[in-house]
Amino acid sequence: MQNKTWGQLILRLIIGGILIYAAFSKIVHPQEFYLSVLEYHLVGDTLSKIVALWLPWIEVLVGVGVLGGIWFLPNLRLAQLLFAGFTIILIVTLFRGIHTDCGCFGTAGGRISWLHVLGDVILYFLTTLLVIWEQIVSNVQPAQPNADNQNNSGKE
């Protein structure tokens, strides 16, 4: 943790903060998020419900992990997966001509648009920047058997 810089801290605040904020309304109003998922017409009824009850908690855990530096690299990798997944789903849905509500922030977020795609792409690259940063830091510093380094070394 001693190599954390202000830049890295700001990126962590942005990514973690957005993920936690995005999850909040979905957890409070799961029924409405389920309807939003269903409106994308990508998965069926039951799978939409599973996504609606599961995805927000992944966002919360990943957001907390990124913010707090807990299991930092695993959470960053999951954040990358989330943003990449959101980007692909939005692009596919836009090309299918479905202009449903985004559901990105639960009941807020407006109808899906290319701006949402751009937002997710930017978040993906910011997360990737953090991953690269973390790996460079891990490579440059001499090996130290402290807990944080072990967390981020893919020891498992």
- Residue that is written with structure tokens 């940063």 in the block: 133
Q: Which residues bind another protein (CB under 8 A)?
A: 27-32, 34-36, 38-39, 45-46, 49, 52-54, 56-58, 60-62, 65, 71, 73-75, 77-78, 100-101, 103, 107-108, 110-111, 131, 135, 138-139, 141-143, 153-156
Residue 116, token pair as written in the block: 């949402």
Shortest Å distance, C-beta 120 to another protein:
19
Name the region of 70 (left: φ>0; alpha: ψ -120 to 50; beta: rest): beta
Nearer to another protein, 112 or 126 (CB): 112
| Buried b or exposed e, range 61-97, using 16+ CB within 10 angstroms | bbbbbbbebebbbebbebbbebbbebbebbbebeeee
Nearer to another protein, 6 or 100 (CB): 100
Nearer to another protein, 6 or 156 (CB): 156
Shortest Å distance, C-beta 51 to another protein:
10
Shortest Å distance, C-beta 48 to another protein:
9
Counting Cβ atoms within 10 Å, is residue 145 exposed (0-12), middle (13-18) or buried (19+)? exposed
Nearer to another protein, 61 or 121 (CB): 61
Shortest Å distance, C-beta 110 to another protein:
7
Nearer to another protein, 79 or 117 (CB): 79
Shortest Å distance, C-beta 21 to another protein:
17
Residue 76 main-chain phi, psi, to 5 deg = -65, -40
Q: How far is C-alpha 93 from the chain's CA centre?
A: 19
